[in-house]
Amino acid sequence: AQSVTQLDSQVPVFEEAPVELRCNYSSSVSVYLFWYVQYPNQGLQLLLKYLSGSTLVKGINGFEAEFNKSQTSFHLRKPSVHISDTAEYFCAVSPIFGNEKLTFGTGTRLTIIP
Amino acid sequence: DTEVTQTPKHLVMGMTNKKSLKCEQHMGHRAMYWYKQKAKKPPELMFVYSYEKLSINESVPSRFSPECPNSSLLNLHLHALQPEDSALYLCASSQGRGGRGEQYFGPGTRLTVT
């Protein structure tokens, strides 16, 4: 079984400041890792994914995340945020072998302050 | 093309009505999913179809009935719903067995049960 922890339920950040959204996971098997973004009244959009290889992955809209196996973390970062980044961000994992169920964290609400 | 479409966008139904939600993808994906999402919560998995067969039912009440007519289409039939069933219903798809676990989501159907 897998579990995902997003400790920060809300993160307020000033416009053009950097941001880091934290994600830690627990799993007895190897997993793929994902970040999804959900804008108000919309579905989820895949922001980036870690499948294998380089631990630093780049996604859409200037976001990047670093996989740290020893700390079982997959934190999301952006060097300079914009008003349009206001959204809910979900970290998720799925087992590499076996079913394709996504296990989501509880989400982090990113609010950009003008 | 990574688009999953869902209709209708909004649906209001009474507790005695019968209605259906529809989902379509043309990415050649062989796994399709229904999720329920309440406000400020992550999506909760309801059903998984793999190669057009129901592979996972997360103990969903029988008033929700999924159907997968072909590999591109997924329906969710609704009957005798309760007000607590009001939520955003999301459809997703993925490659299926041997894939990398990433799921692509539709924009959702906002369901209100009166």
- Going by pLDDT thresholds of 50, 70 and 90, the confidence category of residue A74 is very high
In a mutational test of the A interface, the residue from B100, B104, B110, B111 whose CB has the highest number of chain A CBs within 10 Å is B100
Question: Which residues of chain B have a Cβ shorter than 8 Å from any chain A Cβ?
Answer: 4, 6, 31, 40-43, 45, 48, 50, 55-56, 90, 92, 94, 96, 99-108, 110
pLDDT one-digit tens code per residue, B24-68: 999 999 999 999 999 999 999 999 999 999 999 999 999 999 999
Distance from CA of B88 to the nearest CA of A (A): 9
Contact A43/B90, CB-based, under 8 Å?
Answer: yes
pLDDT over 80 at B99, yes or no: no
Distance from CA of B92 to the nearest CA of A (A): 9
pLDDT over 80 at A93, yes or no: yes
- Going by pLDDT thresholds of 50, 70 and 90, the confidence category of residue B97 is confident
Q: Average the pLDDT over A81-96 and give the result.
A: 95
Residues of A in contact with B4 (CB under 8 A): 43
pLDDT over 80 at B98, yes or no: no
pLDDT at B109 (0 to 100): 97
Q: Would strands A87-95 and A73-78 be described as parallel, antiparallel, or unpaired?
A: unpaired
What is the residue-averaged pLDDT of chain A? 94
pLDDT over 90 at B9, yes or no: yes
pLDDT one-digit tens code per residue, A22-37: 999 999 999 999 999 9
Contact A107/B42, CB-based, under 8 Å?
Answer: yes
Q: How large a percentage of chain B has pLDDT more than 90? A: 87
CA B48 to chain centre: 9
pLDDT at B1 (0 to 100): 59
Q: Average the pLDDT over B69-92 and give the result.
A: 96
Q: How distant, in Å, are the alpha carbons of A66, B7, B40, B112 from that of B83?
A: 42, 20, 18, 7
pLDDT at A100 (0 to 100): 76
Q: How distant, in Å, are the alpha carbons of B17, B89, B91, B113 from that of B14?
A: 5, 17, 22, 6
Q: Higher-confidence residue: B18 or A100?
A: B18
